[in-house]
């Protein structure tokens, strides 16, 4: 994780030049002002773009010409996107001069996804050899035309020749942990298509839910599609009865999504995860599991040890499910998972051990390899290619199998060297359930930060991969796991704007990529997303504040922006900042109390609503959970409270291996007591072999204690017994007297005892002067 100060290294001189170039102007034509075309701010950046003098103005009289059925389909989609942005559609007309022309012409581009776009004073022409390329050309034109003010849009004269760098430009959505409606998925597909992404990986089965209808096995959706959430979230307060969380897609809905995606030139790839992540299926049909015992659909996150067994009946189940999937999903690939299959049950099963001997499997990974090989043969017979997570490399892998590398890029590198096709999707760079800023406004997820710069810098082709193997790197994919994203708004927050960086890496030639240019073009994308109802994250565009107590009745304030945009404007009189408000240059002092409001500006426009900060004596002596550091490097998560049943819930950073919080260099020189406001959450995690990493400090009383230390290994400052239960609101407030400390110290706070299935977390720490 890099400090905010490191963003100052971004070459903003280049960025500002690009932003100035994007600034619109006006020309006078008689008594009416017509817009002057701006230089384009396109994402992803095209392979080649040359601007020239002149412009073409699109207005109410412009017509769209599209010859042939394929070109007309693209034209209708183009107008459909204009309509969704509440822009006037451009009427289709028979062949004629001028206007906008969509053409499919042999030889227009050597790539089926490539296109040529020309803007001249007498009209606009988009030309491609294939309907896919024509659609991507139309998507570029849509960016040139939108957003716009008024009924005229001036497009600068230019020539674009464009084609993608990679054939696989993907995004994965986990619908198993939390369910999204068909309409929500279509909104995501629209946004993907306009970024020229072309693979939608649909994660449909897991421990926490089975989401696809399989008529031969009705219990998969009758039982497997519902779970009882942990804690208060799973109890209806009106009745006191369990409140199941349910959802699945009928086959008709799946066909609808697939057709919708195909019209936008997106291939939908389903995932049926085997042999792990199987609890929902086993809950429906216990005979599929190793033990044969009944299980509930899991309401716990993490790695579950329950696996499918290796009986012939189970293989028939696999083939029945895959047989339905190959009919529903006409794309090339079916994903069979293969990840995080902890083999403890297979090791303990005499039956499976005997089968391993009979089948010549030397170990459990070899047995999984035999499973993968059998499924690959089945899929190949149905004209499909098997793809799995990189664990499938640990067994003998069929030659035609494709590997999706998530545990770093090493698995992808090894697979490509062996001659397997690879999709790079490392958790270190492309897992979007990781947070993108340090802001307290971030939703639940994993508190390790994958910032925009890191996403943009990811290179799918390892430098050490031999040149003759590089063609095996099909492309890259961002993954959106949803354990902690129970709303579609949170899914979109986590995906956007980072998905734009993935799109540019997948499309734009490597030597054309430039992060400063990308940041300069990104502000123009924000109003497009707003017009398309994409609920992108505002946190990267907001102002972050740090305030420390200064002299008597003052505080020293530092302002920053996560993306490093330099023009921060602020006020201290309660008014909303504007482009002419005081510009932030360096840390400054304010008189306490003060209400400070700040926003980031580019080209005179605020990138997000102003943040409001109330700075007073109490705020300087308190730290909320988000402002506290973890004591170690275990398994950090940003967790949501389990209550209230409806409405907003608290969000807390916690290291579940070592739940301990630090106020770095707290000034306790005049402090006589410390107050800790604590919340209690469900401890609903299955960690398999990592479970032993969980640290429990020994308790001295029945329900454990709150402990305060001067440094995590330092002297104990106070110890206060915990109650058996929190207060009615789910919280407890504890106050501990301490001895003043002569110099600043890291104030360490933790709770003792093993309190599972619940856990205490720090909500806020307040220092109380003598």
Q: Which residues form the catalytic set?
A: 340
Determine which helix (DSSP H) or strand (DSSP E) holds 591, and give its type and residue range: strand 588-591
Can you list the pairs that 251-260 forms with residues at least 24 positions away whose Cβ atoms lie under 8 Å? 251/212, 251/213, 251/215, 251/324, 251/328, 253/182, 254/212, 254/213, 254/328, 254/329, 255/328, 256/182, 257/182, 257/185, 257/186, 257/189, 257/202, 258/328, 258/329, 258/330, 260/186, 260/189
Quick check: helix, strand or coil at residue 262?
helix
Tell me, rounded to whole angstroms, the distance of Cα 95 from its chain centroid: 44
- Contact between 124 and 153 under an 8 Å Cβ cutoff? The reply is no
- Contact between 318 and 310 under an 8 Å Cβ cutoff? The reply is no
CA-nearest of 120, 269, 301, 279 to 210 is 279
Phi/psi of residue 69, each to 5°? -60, -45
CA-nearest of 666, 661, 697 to 679 is 661
- Contact between 681 and 758 under an 8 Å Cβ cutoff? The reply is yes
CA-nearest of 321, 335, 286 to 306 is 286
**Number of Cα atoms under 13 Å in the Cβ half of residue 482:** 27
Determine which helix (DSSP H) or strand (DSSP E) holds 681, and give its type and residue range: strand 671-682
Q: How many helices (H) and strands (E) does the chain have?
A: 18, 44
Question: How far apart are the two ends of the chain, measured CA to CA in Å?
Answer: 37
- Ramachandran quadrant class, 34 (left: phi over 0; alpha: psi -120 to 50; beta: rest): beta
Phi/psi of residue 148, each to 5°? -145, 150
- Contact between 633 and 656 under an 8 Å Cβ cutoff? The reply is no
């Amino acid at each position: 994780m890099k400090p905010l100060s490191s963003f100052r290294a971004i070459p903003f001189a280049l960025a500002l030049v690009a932003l100035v170039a994007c600034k619109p102007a006006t020309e006078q034509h008689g008594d009416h002002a017509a817009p002057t075309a701006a230089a384009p701010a396109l994402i992803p950046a095209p392979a080649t773009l040359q601007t020239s003098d002149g412009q073409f103005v699109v207005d109410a009289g412009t017509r769209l010409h599209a010859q042939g059925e394929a070109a007309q389909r693209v034209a209708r989609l183009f107008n459909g996107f204009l309509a969704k942005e509440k822009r006037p559609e451009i009427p289709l007309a028979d062949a004629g001069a001028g206007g906008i022309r969509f053409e499919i012409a042999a030889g227009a581009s050597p790539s089926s996804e490539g296109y040529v776009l020309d803007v001249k004073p007498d009209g606009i022409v988009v030309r491609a050899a294939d309907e896919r390329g024509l659609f991507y050309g139309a998507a570029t034109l849509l960016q040139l035309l939108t957003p716009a003010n008024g009924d005229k849009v001036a497009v600068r004269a230019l020539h674009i020749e464009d084609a993608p760098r990679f054939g696989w430009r993907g995004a994965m959505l986990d619908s198993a942990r939390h369910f999204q409606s068909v309409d929500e998925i279509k909104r995501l597909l629209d946004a993907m298509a306009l970024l020229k992404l072309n693979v939608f990986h649909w994660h449909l089965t897991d421990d926490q839910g089975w989401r696809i209808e399989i008529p031969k096995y009705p219990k998969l959706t009758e039982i497997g599609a519902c779970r009882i959430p942990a804690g208060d979230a799973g109890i209806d307060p009106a009745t006191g009865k369990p409140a199941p969380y349910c959802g699945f897609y009928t086959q008709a809905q799946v066909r609808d999504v697939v057709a919708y995606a195909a019209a936008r030139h997106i291939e939908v790839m389903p995932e049926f995860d085997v042999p792990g992540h199987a609890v929902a299926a086993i809950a429906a049909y216990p005979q599929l599991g190793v033990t044969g015992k009944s299980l509930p659909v899991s309401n716990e996150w993490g790695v579950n040890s329950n696996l499918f067994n290796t009986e012939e009946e189970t293989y028939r189940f696999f083939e029945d499910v895959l047989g339905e999937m190959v009919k529903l999903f006409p794309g090339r690939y079916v994903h069979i998972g293969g990840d995080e299959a902890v083999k403890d049950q297979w090791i303990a099963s005499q039956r499976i051990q005997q089968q391993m001997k009979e089948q010549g499997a030397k170990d459990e990974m070899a047995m999984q390899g035999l499973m993968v090989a059998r499924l690959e043969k089945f899929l190949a017979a149905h004209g499909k290619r098997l793809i799995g997570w990189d664990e499938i490399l640990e067994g003998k892998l069929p030659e035609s199998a494709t590997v999706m590398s998530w545990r770093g890029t090493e698995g992808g590198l090894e697979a490509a060297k062996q001659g397997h096709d690879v999709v790079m999707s490392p958790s270190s760079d492309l897992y979007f359930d990781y947070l993108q800023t340090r802001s307290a406004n971030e939703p639940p997820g994993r508190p390790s930060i994958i910032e925009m710069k890191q996403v943009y810098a990811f290179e799918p082709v390892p430098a050490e991969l031999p040149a003759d193997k590089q063609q095996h790197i099909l492309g890259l994919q961002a993954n959106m796991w949803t354990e902690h994203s129970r709303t579609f708004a949170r899914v979109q927050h986590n995906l956007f704007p980072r998905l734009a960086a993935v799109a540019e890496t997948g499309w734009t030639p490597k030597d054309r990529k430039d992060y400063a240019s990308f940041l300069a073009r990104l502000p123009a994308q924000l109003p497009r997303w707003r017009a398309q109802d994409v609920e992108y994250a505002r946190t990267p565009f907001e102002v972050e504040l740090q305030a420390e107590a200064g002299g008597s009745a003052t505080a020293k304030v530092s302002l920053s922006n996560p993306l490093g945009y330099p023009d921060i404007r602020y006020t201290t009189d309660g008014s909303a900042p504007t482009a002419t408000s005081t510009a932030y240059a360096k840390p400054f002092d304010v008189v306490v109390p003060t209400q400070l409001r700040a926003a980031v500006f580019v080209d005179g426009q605020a990138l997000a609503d102003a943040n409001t900060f109330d700075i007073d004596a109490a705020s300087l002596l308190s730290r909320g959970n988000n402002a506290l550091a973890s004591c170690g490097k275990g398994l950090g998560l940003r967790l949501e409270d389990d209550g209230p049943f409806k409405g907003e819930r608290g969000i807390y950073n916690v290291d579940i291996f070592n739940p301990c919080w630090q106020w770095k260099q707290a000034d306790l020189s005049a402090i006589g007591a410390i107050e800790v406001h604590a919340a209690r959450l469900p401890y609903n995690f299955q960690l398999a072999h990592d479970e032993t990493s969980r640290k429990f400090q020994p308790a001295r009383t029945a329900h454990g204690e709150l402990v305060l230390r001067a440094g995590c290994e330092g002297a104990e400052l106070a110890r206060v017994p915990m109650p058996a239960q929190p207060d009615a609101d789910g919280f407890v407030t504890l106050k501990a007297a301490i001895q003043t400390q002569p110099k600043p110290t890291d104030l360490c706070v933790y709770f003792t005892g093993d309190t599972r299935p619940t856990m205490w977390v720090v909500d806020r720490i307040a220092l109380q002067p003598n």
